[in-house]
Structure 1
Amino acid sequence: MRPHTCLYVAYGLSLGLGLLCLVFVISWNSYWRGGFSWDASAQQFNWHPVLMVSGLVVLYGNAAVVYRLPFTWGQRKFTWKLVHAGLMLLALVLSILGLCAVFDFHRGLQIPDLYSLHSWVGICTVVTFAFQWVLGLAGFLLPCSPWWFRIILKPFHVWLGKAILILSLASCISGLNEALLLTLNGAEPYSSLPVQAKFANFLGVLIVAFGIIVFGILSKTKWERPETDENAYPLLGENIS
């Protein structure tokens, strides 16, 4: 199988897994957890897992691999930098909305904030993500950014991007487990593995599988976009490929 074929198969698999993640997290919160609203009720909390899985995992993962797709290699890199940055910004906005949903829910029911390991990891993930996006904007999209800064920033940007993906997976998996432990009790304990527990556990497996595929795509050096000599800012005469 040719390298490009393998890449497209892996990318197609990631798209399928990402779609399944969205279907499962929406179905879980719609069928078992009462649906959605924005009134500081339990139904508002349900936006939290949906927005976090959508933004921090599925959209972030797809934005991270957009450079790797061979059909983009013959096009201007700056165009795909904008696509990459735009998708990442949308993922960040969804993540922040997910935090707003849970904080507003806590405030409505007077529940303490940031007491669990899940919440600590989640906040660190979103803050790091925001820092990464601003740093990427300053280093790779602003024409006033010096060339030496881009050279220094690039390996750090790539490393931190992978680290954020790992943190995102850890945040979502720990959040699923915490939600099940807090929700399933009494007549239907989590330890008895009712249908809801099986469904949510399988959602966690899908999230991990999606992350593994995306991380695999990012780790293959032969799938990196070839460096070119095109000018990203032709009017400025700058080469920032």
Structure 2
Amino acid sequence: MRSSVLFYVSYALCLCSGLLCLLFVSVWSSCWRGGFSWDGSALQFNWHPVLMVSGLLVLYGYAAVVYRVPFTWQQKKLTWKLVHAALMLLALILSILGLCAVFDFHRQSHIPDLYSLHSWVGICTVIVFSLQWTLGLWGFLFPCSPLWFPGALKPVHIWMGKAILILSVASCISGINEKLFFTLNGNSSEPYSSLPAEAKFANSLGVLILVFGLVVFGILSKKKWKRPEIETESVHLLPHENSP
């Protein structure tokens, strides 16, 4: 009973901190950075942090913990496998759109791509995420995959899932820091070192992202909160049930 209460407290914190991350990144891009557009201007760049935080971090985190919610345990696992896969696909699509926004902005503004540590970590995160989703689809949903493959893939899938979460947090936090350095030290009367209102707000967003990542990682690391394996779940239209 105590474990269940602790889970729901953690899950509520996960949901709330994720929504706050979305709110803060949207307000930052709207109020301080001027809003949104898709015309190659700086307003197009503003889609990049919003889409990356939405997809690569928040939606990814929500999808990662969906198996841990106890009320799903009494329902068919196949249903929640499809929900998990669909949420991850949406997260991946938003992440790719976020990359498109920044690459197109760089092209229009004649700015080189992939020159910073943030960009290297971010692009690696999306590549690993794409590989993770593709392997998961083949191993846990496609009935034509070899029978040995899901069991071999499961520990790798779980490890990669946590690794992507860590990389996502690192990418988002480094991106916030990089954006503040460029804008407040180059195009602002108040330098970053003076900690103006925008810097305080964006730094708070970074702290929220860190809190969200830690809560999700904690939920994923708690063995008692894993979905129990039930033998009868092995009989489905898509037969492989060795998913995380």
TM class, shorter-length: over 0.9
Contact 1:65 1:217 in 2 (8 A): yes
Kindly state the Cα deviation for residue 239 of structure 1 after the two structures are TM-superposed.
5.6
Q: Secondary structure at the match of 2:83?
A: helix
Correspondence 1:25-104 to 2 at 5 A: 25-104=25-104
Structure 1 residues 235, 69: closer, same or farther in 2, change over 3 A? closer
Letter matched to residue 184 of structure 1: L
Contact 1:77 1:232 in 2 (8 A): no
Q: What is residue 240 of structure 1 aligned with on the other side?
A: 241
Contact 2:22 2:50 in 1 (8 A): yes
Return the alpha-carbon distance in structure 2 between the equivalents of residues 124 and 234 of structure 1: 35
Q: Secondary structure at the match of 2:231?
A: coil
Contact 1:78 1:232 in 2 (8 A): no
Contact 1:64 1:161 in 2 (8 A): yes
Residue segments in structure 1 that go unaligned for 5+ positions in a row: none
- Please state if 1:134 is matched with 2:134: yes
| CA distances 1:34-90 after superposition (whole Å, capped 9, x unpaired) | 000000000000000000000011000000000000000000111100000000000
Question: Number of residue pairs matched?
Answer: 240
Return the alpha-carbon distance in structure 2 between the equivalents of residues 73 and 214 of structure 1: 19
Letter matched to residue 221 of structure 1: K
Kindly state the Cα deviation for residue 230 of structure 1 after the two structures are TM-superposed.
2.4
Kindly state the Cα deviation for residue 187 of structure 1 after the two structures are TM-superposed.
1.9
Q: What is residue 4 of structure 1 aligned with on the other side?
A: 4
Scaled by the length of structure 1, what TM-score is found? 0.97
Q: What is residue 116 of structure 1 aligned with on the other side?
A: 116
Q: What is residue 173 of structure 1 aligned with on the other side?
A: 173
Contact 2:57 2:169 in 1 (8 A): yes
Return the alpha-carbon distance in structure 2 between the equivalents of residues 184 and 5 of structure 1: 44
Q: What is residue 221 of structure 2 aligned with on the other side?
A: 219
Letter matched to residue 85 of structure 2: A
Contact 1:230 1:239 in 2 (8 A): no
- Point out 4+ residue stretches in structure 1 off by more than 2 angstroms: 230-236, 238-241
Q: What is residue 22 of structure 2 aligned with on the other side?
A: 22
Q: What is residue 191 of structure 1 aligned with on the other side?
A: 193
Q: Secondary structure at the match of 2:39?
A: coil
| CA distances 1:130-169 after superposition (whole Å, capped 9, x unpaired) | 0000000000000112221111000000000000000000
Letter matched to residue 61 of structure 1: G
Scaled by the length of structure 2, what TM-score is found? 0.96
Return the alpha-carbon distance in structure 1 between the equivalents of residues 66 and 233 of structure 2: 20
Kindly state the Cα deviation for residue 234 of structure 1 after the two structures are TM-superposed.
3.2
Q: Secondary structure at the match of 1:139?
A: helix
Contact 2:141 2:240 in 1 (8 A): no
Return the alpha-carbon distance in structure 2 between the equivalents of residues 220 and 109 of structure 1: 46
Contact 2:139 2:150 in 1 (8 A): yes
